[in-house]
Amino acid sequence: MKPIQFNDQKIDSSLWMQLDHLVKALSKDDELKAEFLVHSYLDPIRKKVYISHFWDHRPVDDMVFGFKTDVYLRSLGNYFFTDYAIIQRLLEKDLLFSQFSKQLFSLMEDLRIEDLIRAERPGTKTAFERRKIMYRQHFQTQLVANLERGYYADALFSQMYLQLISSSPVLLWPKLTSSLDRLVPFFKGELIKVFDSKSTKDVYEIVNNIDRSLESNLEDDMINQYFHLPHFKKDELTISDLKRKSNLNNDDEDIIEDQQNKDQFDEEMPTWHRETKEQQDNFLHFELEQGTKTNLTADTGREGDDGDQAFGMVQGGQQKSDRKDFTPQELVRDEKYKDKSQSNVKYGRENRHAKKVNIESKPVTIDQYAQYRQVAGDVAPYVKKLKTMMRKILEQKQNSPSNHLHYGRLSKQLVRLYTDEDYRVFYKKKVPSVKIDAVFSLLVDCSASMFDKMEETKRGISLFHEALKAVDVPHQITGFWEDTANSTKDYQPNYFQTVISFDQFSAKNSGAKIMQLEPQEDNRDGFAIRCMAEQLVTRNEAQKFMLVFSDGEPAAMSYDQNGIVDTHQAVLEAKRNDIDVINIFMKEGPIEESQQKVISDMYGQRAIFVEEMKRLPDVLFPLLKKLLNKSFQR
């Protein structure tokens, strides 16, 4: 019986990667990421653009238009045109109907920045028109349902949305309550102001007016949530994002008399202080925790003079400074401000906290020898057939003549002397040597989900080992997994157990160590592929193959959805280094189409699907045969 699946929502990883790239392109911020959530909003603190699930389960074109409009509004609209200090003021304000007012603010702000986006990028108009049609249908339905249930705040919100997107100024309003009906002219007048609003502050004033007008005219706040206005904790806010001002350590004040003859000017100068994570390339550095409060306004400053130059301290590049001798201790001290995770960025941003841990194989036990002898016996017919086929190919290539050469024995067919400009009339009767110029790296997913597939996987791996060993092709077999129990936000140990190494692949009874591979915990595929690719890049063989045996999507700490994109990028990086990455996807039973699409999104056309584990050797044999045949070099 097939088990019931709860929350089996599948994300089209290919579409998600497109949206993620679109987010970065529009915002010009490589750290900003796309994620799916119930409601859409921008989180400037965590660097996330959340795309709403509201657009799911629609025709493909409508769904894509919906997703893209969310991206436009967040990564282009909110990112550049929304003042989050005003949003913070609204959230801290004691609103009479907070749910209604916050959602109305979010709706109006979206409409305001939508006009700015349309003007800046006319190509977005089609997507926004589709968005408007879908939302109109939705709120028309919601209006009827809310009126039937007596949810008058929700009904008022639905009607306000329909009024805002209506092309007619005389849209008929339904009967709500007698007190709300009297306010309809006032509501219409305030809603018209949205189209003249120039800033987030203008939208704030409109919402504030409507909220005050509802006092004693509306009994209950909204029940449903259609839009979301993010609330950030005070300790999460930054100066650039939400205009936060820190308290001084001292609380004394000084009165500064206004001097009218002083020139005033506006200028923003980034500074460094204790709460900055890393030093910026600033000319002046100040500590902001000490000082005296004055009555100087925040947007004025004094004119600088020549004496200020003394505060600039500069370390010269590649030469000593004659003003300051920077000792090694001072340089080490400054290193603490650098991002310690940068050393691991070469394995991908999603893996910057992943730590590679190599595990030595244990001595082979008697039981493991016995198990491997049985497995080797099962795959022996395949190995014998492959070895015979390889020998015939070698003999054929050695004995077959090579024609149309520039030198060698003169051919009897001399017509080419008259027909071709390039005189290739020589041949060689026998080619002296042919070899398989290839190297293989086999990566085995040792996650917990492999518990029912590991035994058959070992049989497939043993086929590769015995066959490659028989034709003297260097190879390596490594199991990988992440230690979930000991993982933290800043440290994720990833274990690599190499049971067959490049140095010992031809050793007698070396294959018995394959039996030591066992299912463990999670799998971080992109990190594992990059680590193994590092080793393959240093090899001299012409053909380099990496085979990844797995049974599903990547799953590790903070890696669930991002792991698909990261693995795809790792495969592309390996390909650029002339490494052919092939995935062997294994499952006991039919493979769903959605699963096939996810694997294909990660590995492209280089994915092989195995639905019956007992058939694994039958699937791997033609693959191995094809790869070896491709690798013959003179």
380-389: per-residue pLDDT in tens?
888 888 778 7
Whether the Cβ atoms of residue 557 and residue 484 lie closer than 8 Å to each other = yes
Nearest-CA neighbor of 273 among 244, 234, 230?
A: 244
Q: Is the pLDDT of residue 337 over 50?
A: no
Question: Which pLDDT band, with edges at 50, 70 and 90, does 69 fall under?
Answer: very high
What's the pLDDT at 495?
94
What's the pLDDT at 6?
40
Whether the Cβ atoms of residue 125 and residue 68 lie closer than 8 Å to each other = no
How far is residue 306's CA from residue 84's CA, in Å, rounded to a whole number? Answer: 37
What's the pLDDT at 621?
82
pLDDT average, residue stretch 523-528: 92
Task: Please give the distance of CA 207 from its chain centroid, rounded to a whole number.
Answer: 36
pTM, full prediction:
0.57
pLDDT average, residue stretch 406-426: 59
Rounded to the nearest 5 degrees, what angle is found at the Cα of 377, between the Cα atoms of 375 and 380?
A: 110
How far is residue 456's CA from residue 624's CA, in Å, rounded to a whole number? Answer: 17
What's the pLDDT at 246?
43
What's the pLDDT at 405?
60
Whether the Cβ atoms of residue 519 and residue 424 lie closer than 8 Å to each other = no
How far is residue 390's CA from residue 475's CA, in Å, rounded to a whole number? Answer: 17
Provide CATH 3.40.50.410 ranges for the chain.
366-379+437-618
The DSSP-derived string for 98-117 is HHHHHHHHHHHHHHHHHHHH
Q: What are the pLDDT digits (tens) for 214-236?
A: 988 888 899 999 999 887 665 55
State the helix-helix crossing angle for 616-630 and 366-399, rounded to 10 degrees: 40
Tokens describing residue 132: 């408007």
Q: What letters, b where the CB count within 10 A reaches 16 and e where it falls short, cover 89-100?
A: bbeeeebebbbb
Q: Is the pLDDT of residue 408 over 90?
A: no
Phi, psi angles (nearest 5°) of residue 244: -75, 145
CB-CB neighbours of 174 under 10 Å: 13
Placement of tokens 């408007």 in the chain: 132
580 - beta bridge partners?
545
Question: Which pLDDT band, with edges at 50, 70 and 90, does 329 fall under?
Answer: very low
Fold topology of 366-379+437-618: Rossmann fold (3.40.50)
The DSSP-derived string for 414-446 is -THHHH-SS---EEES-----EE-EEEEEEEE-
What's the pLDDT at 553?
81
Q: Is the pLDDT of residue 190 over 80?
A: yes
Question: What is the radius of gyration, based on Cα positions, of the chain?
Answer: 34
Residues 6+ positions from 477 with CB-CB distance below 8 Å: 442, 444, 461, 464, 465, 498, 499, 500, 514
| Lowest-confidence region among 83-92, 302-311, 524-533 | 302-311
To the nearest whole percent, how much of the chain has pLDDT over 70? 72
Mean of pLDDT over the chain: 78
Q: Is the pLDDT of residue 211 over 70?
A: yes
What's the pLDDT at 319?
47
What's the pLDDT at 453?
86
What's the pLDDT at 634?
44
Question: Which pLDDT band, with edges at 50, 70 and 90, does 327 fall under?
Answer: very low
